[in-house]
Chains A and B, each alone.
Chain A
Amino acid sequence: MFRKPNKKELFYLILIFILYSGALIYVYQNHLSFGAIYKYGLLQEKGVQEDQARIADIETPLSWNIPEVLWFILIKGAAVLVELFQYWIVGMLIAASLVVFVPWQKIKEKMGYGGFGSNFLATTAGAVIPICSCGIVPVLAGMVEAGIPLGPTMAFLIAAPMLNVPAVFITAGVLGWKLALGRILGTFFIALMVGGVLTRWQRKERFLRRFVKLSIAPNLSPELQKFAFKVGMVLSKNPRKLPTEKLAPGEEEKLYLLGEAGILDRDKEDLWFLPAVKEASTGATAACFVLPTGEAKLSLGKKMRKMVQTAWDFFLQLNYYLILAVIIAGAIKVLIPTKTVVSLVGGKHLNSVLIASFIAVLAYVCTYVEVPTALALIQKGMGGGATLSYLLGGPGLSLPSIVMLSGVFKAKVLALYVGLSFVGCVVAGYVFNLF
């Protein structure tokens, strides 16, 4: 059913297995709560109730005993992995279903490069779906490969963890309607801002491989696939770069379409070439979906099987980033104690908003966990604006999710996402303080 992983992929797969089972063994041996590790990624004593259940973690004191600190980082990272893994798998399946079931060209025709309407819709869709920032990454990869433009994709990425119906009600119930409203407006502001910039970029540059690293080719129509083969054959000769007039005279738009699908690219001298494709998706037994014969020919059963196969390939390609992300999450949990956070974010000054945004970006805060932690911070003196920044940035941005996204996007997209989200959190927090 599944393709064989290559040596690297196998290594990461084994590492994930060791971390996952290691965390469960640790919980069992120390009589900790299995519910807490699965629900919140926390190593927690049994019997912790209510809001504390979402934040209480075993003490991991900082000391110069480096092996002990490293062990804590590893085991807390592994705990995050246990929580994350279930969403990760669901995310992979959603991603694969997008690739398999969504006809690339139809999406392209309907959505183009996105725009305010598409970005707004994507933000609203994201706000309805409760997925945390790490779980959203594979979904995002699937959206990109399915042909959904980058603007709406990114707007969705931002909105899904930052905002969802249950989270808004929890915020309103625990922290008040003013902050809940601020959260809604802040999310739309950030998502539409980032989505808008990306829409402009993609309209200008068009070629997918300039934005995206992953290499699972989309569902092309048989006609476009035939055209792709034709130009591929021509480009395999010397010279391997050609202008439109020599490659496919009068068919420049089709060439651009292949560029948007990630199959072709164009250099500064307007010469077309085949971009380098990662080894991962082209192994001998791999990626039979690299260029399928066209979605129309497959029955539902075949599509379902192909979906599982595609999910497996996504899984193998992204595991490295998952491991890196959970280790970073573990390190943050151990190295930045809550006490330090609390002492930095009090008051209503821009300074506290900035610090809250910065901490929110660094910390790994899964959706729904941000409200009780924010409440704890408010009780210690955190101001309204800083709280809003934390509510937006905590679940929306985190160092682990940024690391995972680096497996999907190229640096400039990542910088735009992180930069504008950070600025958005600060602006939202500052504006909130004015009211």
Chain B
Amino acid sequence: MNQNNNHKIVRLFTMPQQFPCGPTAACCGPVGQSEEEIQRLKESIEKELSVPVEVRNVTKGEDMRDFRPISGLFRSFGPMSLPLIAVGDEVVSMGNPAPEEAVAALREKLREFGIL
């Protein structure tokens, strides 16, 4: 990961919600996160931890250019690993967490980094 990126930045790696098997099918969808889900998670983190949160789309090449380890994880684990939450170059959470779980994991990591 690009070390020039601000290591204090919390990043959410997500994928726009899709319905590969159709909007009414439950077999394999929805995949990814809806705008509301992403916004809710972003707002919870920003409100609770007072840190900026950047949202990246894993399906966009330009969004992922500097984040090869994240791309690698997505390739290994697939859409079920999203949203991926990272602080700087460290992944804090994979999969769909409750906002409070994500906040708790992030708080611990930010303390470890001496940011909180």
Seen from chain A, the residues whose Cβ lies within 8 Å of a Cβ on chain B are 1-4, 217, 226, 228-229, 232-233, 236-238, 240, 263, 274-275, 277, 279, 281-282, 284-293, 301-302, 304-306, 308-309
Contact = CB atoms under 8 A, between A and B. Distances in A.
Contacts of B27: 1, 288, 302, 304-306, 308-309
Nearest to A302: B26
B37 to A, nearest CB: 16
A236 B78 contact: no
A241 to B, nearest CB: 13
Contacts of A284: 15, 18, 32, 58-59, 79
Nearest to A290: B78
A290 B80 contact: yes
A277 B89 CA distance: 22
Nearest to B59: A284
B80 A232 contact: no
Contacts of B89: 237-238
Nearest to A233: B91
B95 interface: yes
Interface of B: 15, 18, 20-22, 25-29, 31-32, 58-59, 69-70, 72-81, 89-95
Contacts of B76: 232, 263, 274-275, 277, 282
Given A288-B29, A290-B77, A305-B25, A236 B69 contact: yes
16 contacts: A229-B81, A232-B91, A236-B69, A236-B91, A263-B77, A274-B73, A274-B76, A275-B76, A277-B75, A284-B59, A286-B78, A288-B79, A305-B21, A305-B25, A305-B26, A309-B20
Given A236-B91, A277-B75, A288 B26 contact: no
B95 A229 contact: yes
Contact of A285 (B18, B72, B74, B92): B18
A288 B73 CA distance: 15
Contacts of A304: 27
A251 to B, nearest CB: 17
Contacts of B31: 285, 288
A349 B74 CA distance: 58
A274 B94 contact: no
Nearest to A306: B27
B91 to A, nearest CB: 4
Contacts of A3: 20, 28
Contacts of A233: 73, 91-94
B95 A309 contact: no
Most buried by B among A237, A281, A282, A306: A282
B90 A290 contact: no
Nearest to A234: B91
A236 B71 CA distance: 9
A229 B94 contact: yes
| A-B complex: 10 closest residue pairs judged by Cβ atoms | A290-B78, A305-B27, A288-B28, A236-B69, A229-B94, A284-B59, A233-B91, A291-B80, A285-B20, A306-B27
A1 B21 contact: yes
B77 A228 contact: yes
Contacts of A302: 26-27
Nearest to B18: A285
A279 B91 contact: no
Given A291-B81, A308-B27, 11 more contacts: A1-B25, A3-B20, A229-B95, A236-B72, A236-B91, A237-B91, A284-B32, A288-B27, A305-B26, A305-B28, A306-B28
A305 B69 CA distance: 32
A371 B74 CA distance: 50
Given A229-B94, A281-B78, A290-B78, A236 B20 contact: no
B34 to A, nearest CB: 15
B91 A293 contact: no
A356 to B, nearest CB: 46
A4 B77 CA distance: 19
B107 to A, nearest CB: 17
A288 B80 contact: yes
Most buried by A among B28, B69, B72: B28
Most buried by A among B15, B25, B70: B25
A274 B78 CA distance: 13
Contact of B78 (A1, A217, A238, A306): A217
A8 to B, nearest CB: 17
A232 B75 contact: no
Contact of B81 (A232, A237, A286, A305): A232
Contacts of A229: 77, 81, 94-95
B13 to A, nearest CB: 11
A210 B13 CA distance: 31
Nearest to B30: A288
A232 B77 contact: yes
